[in-house]
Structure 1
Amino acid sequence: MVKTPDTRLRRFHEKADYGPDVIHAILDAQPLAHIGHLVDGFPVVTPTLQWREGDRVYWHGSSAWRMIRASAGQPVSLCVTLLDGLVLEGTRLASNRLYL
């Protein structure tokens, strides 16, 4: 993955790894993804299943799906998250989560 202003990690950037091996491992480990797109100018995020073949990522959807029709030729955002653990403290504000 090429690091661009749109893809760079802004918080904790020192933890970022843009190498293909890490990105492929995350995509291969987590089939659940969220696709962000615009429908009639309104942002919509849709959960779906994704899979990788080589350097391409595919996601489940019908050709009649409004996201595919509305996003034809437009940029979309794919988010795949691996929740590695929870750090539970005495209060909610002190609690945290760990991402891979």
Structure 2
Amino acid sequence: MCYVEIVDSALKELEAEYSVLTSELSAADIAISDYYHRLEFGDEKIGFFNSKTRLKELKELLTKRRIIKEELAQVGSMKANLKDRSARADEARKQRLGN
């Protein structure tokens, strides 16, 4: 297995992880939207005694979303960089081998 195939394999893994993270981000967005709707339209009144709990729940949802977005950005950057480098290395290898 040549190095280009190894890089391509790593790229496929990054693309799979990117897809998983995209799905997780979508699920986190839906969870936050649902939470906002429960707060807005729910039967429970928000008062002094339960507001701290509600804020803590919302903060947990938003923190989870932020963590997913940060990882998604890192994986996306690695994926783009690796794709570019892989294409260049493959082209150089083909030129060297005369293909």
Q: So what's the TM-score if we normalise by structure 2?
A: 0.18
Larger Rg: 2
Q: Which has the higher strand share?
A: 1
Q: Which has the higher contact order (CA 8 A, sep 6+)?
A: 2
Q: Which has the higher helix share?
A: 2
Q: So what's the TM-score if we normalise by structure 1?
A: 0.18
